[in-house]
Amino acid sequence: MLRECEGYIPFAGYQTYYRVAGECQPGRLPLLVLHGGPGAAHYYLQSLDGIAEKYGRAVVYYDQISCGRSKTPPMPERWGCSLFLDELACVRAYLAATFGWDRLHILGQSWGGMLGMMYAIGEPWHEHGHEGLASMVVASSPASMDLWLHEAIRLRHYLPREMDEALAQADVDGDYSRPEVRAATAEYYRRHVSKVPEDERPANLHSPEPDQVGDECYHFMQGMSEFVVTGALSHWSVVDQLPTIDVPTLVTSGAADECTPLVAKQVADGIPGARWELFPDGTHWVHGEQPERYNAVVERFLEEHE
């Protein structure tokens, strides 16, 4: 049976929830997982528990502030890249002090990979340093939100014309509740975000309850949909800073992912020595659609960089 522990880390006047799955066998370093969104919480990534179960490596998750079990009121005056980078540094300091894990690997999915890249770059994003970062997995993440948005709209255009037009109109008038908009959103998600709707996944792979503040955080940071970036991440880019990353990096993505091959390639080409694994038929949730293969690919990479 998989050993688990959980708890809370004081941060910014609130409590950041964390969960540790498994234990590290000798010679293995833990894997710290950064979820997407912002505001998506860690649940959808718990297929990575398979790494702990099969390979004897502790996998650490945490809910970023204002989502999941890291509850706060809405605080748009504080949400931003610097807050989430400070939280990551706080989590790392806690893991080092509590478990002795001053060296570890990081896997960041979607927004989590953006967070991981900023962390590995250091200045001008933050001043914490990234000592002890053995390797990084950037999972379905962009280096440029402008390219991400361009590709999302390109993918949307492949939908039936009436669906494409419904989604475009919703981004204009803000009414995402119309049946035709909901149907078009579901079809886009099925094609590019997850073949398995969230409410059809096993209970451990989706949020147990609605998360209003997490949704507000997403809307503040990103925008109201996948096809508008009007929030704090508008025009966000680390493209010019990727060559400064000196951490061994694996880039992963799915062939049908909303993180298209063009988006993933920009990351893989920009980080010196980065390796790229493209999973056939996978979407943005490829880690949950192909868990055995995905976990094996990640584990092999981690073992090379202990």
Tell me which residues are annotated as active site: 110, 257, 284
Asked whether the beta carbons of 76 and 231 are under 8 A apart, the reply is no
Asked whether the beta carbons of 173 and 228 are under 8 A apart, the reply is no
DSSP state of 67: B
Q: Across the strands, what pairs with 18?
A: 7, 62
Q: Supply 222's token pair.
A: 């990103």
Distance CA 143, CA 118 (A): 10
Distance CA 61, CA 178 (A): 36
Q: List, in sequence order, every beta strand (DSSP E) within the chain.
A: 4-11, 14-21, 31-34, 59-62, 104-109, 133-139, 249-254, 275-279
Pairing between strand 275-279 and 4-11? unpaired
- SS3 breakdown of the chain: % helix, strand, coil, rounded to 5? 45, 15, 40
Query: With 0-12 CB in 10 A as exposed, 13-18 as middle and 19+ as buried, what is 302?
Result: buried
Half-sphere exposure of 147 (CA within 13 A, CB side): 16
CA distances from 163 to 151, 156, 181, 183 (A): 17, 8, 7, 8
